[in-house]
Amino acid sequence: MEPKSYTITRAEIEVKSISVKTPLETKVPDDISYIRLSSFISRNAAAEFRTILEQGQNKKGYIIDLRSNPGGLLSNALYISDMFLDGGTIVSTVDRDGYKETSRANRGVITRKPVVVLINKGSASASEIFSGAMKDNHRAVIIGEQSFGKGLVQEINKLPYEAGINITIQKYLTPNGTDINKKGITPDIVVELKEEDIKNKKDVQLLKAIEVVNQMTNGQSVAVQ
């Protein structure tokens, strides 16, 4: 067999972080906007999120699915939180000397409609910053399972011979001052997604989120744990 030559052109492939497709074939009512954010890594994640949020202005409420979202850019978590919070603290960082820096939301929001956020044990880092901000500011009801608990700020320091070391320099605190590292965010309503639910293609967490959005929009009180 003779060798063949191919011309390969390098290109940047942009992976979208936002989806409106629900898992386990669970249908969301047309009057509720479902937004699945798979990660905060993409530089365009906040812009994509804003576009879908604005397109859903005719909806009565939002379900934001952060399940198995490992995190990503802090800036994305701050920008997306700012879309919902009319002022107030988003997150704080504290170093070993006790020096504290606080990131706050600007005045003005894109929407004031009810919001439910879904999390699970795979929701980490930036997902927890967003969830913590929404929970502590009483802007959303958090549903699902305890999140991962990644609340540290790290930086890479270069070493000789092209090596490096990752050093923890700060820790995150939620607006209420809660240290979530190795603890995670506790949902307002705990709902476990079991193997039998997955086998039966029944997303009990999403179904609960739909129920809660309907309660909120109908003026009913939501029982939280």
Which member of 39, 42, 125, 147 is catalytic?
125
| pLDDT at 170 (0 to 100) | 92
| 222 inside domain | no
Strands of 100-104's sheet, edge to edge?
100-104, 89-95, 163-173, 152-159
Instruction: Provide mean pLDDT across the span 22-49.
Output: 93
| 225 inside domain | no
Which member of 59, 113, 135, 150 is catalytic?
150
Q: What is the DSSP string of 61-127?
A: EEEEE-TT---B-HHHHHHHHHTT-SSSEEEEEEETT--EEEEEPPS--S--S-EEEEE-TT--THH
**Residue 30 falls in the annotated catalytic set:** no
Q: What DSSP state is assigned to residue 26?
A: P
Write out the H or E segment, with its range, that includes residue 128.
Answer: helix 126-136
At 138, which CATH number?
Answer: 3.90.226.10
pLDDT tens track for 152-201: 988 888 999 989 998 889 999 999 999 999 999 999 999 999 999 999 99
**Residue 33 falls in the annotated catalytic set:** no
**Residue 150 falls in the annotated catalytic set:** yes
What is the pLDDT confidence band of residue 34, given thresholds at 50, 70 and 90? very high
Q: Is the pLDDT of residue 14 over 80?
A: no
Structure tokens at 164: 């490096």
Which residue has 């497709």 as its token pair? 21
| 10 inside domain | no
What residues make up the domain containing 41? 18-217
**Number of domains into which the chain is organized:** 1
| 87 inside domain | yes
| 50 inside domain | yes
| 160 inside domain | yes
End-to-end CA distance of the chain: 68
- pTM to 2 decimal places: 0.89
| pLDDT at 206 (0 to 100) | 98
| 11 inside domain | no
**Coil, strand or helix at 154:** strand
Which member of 103, 123, 127, 136 is catalytic?
136
| 32 inside domain | yes
Torsion of CA 104, 185, 54, 214, to 10 degrees: -130
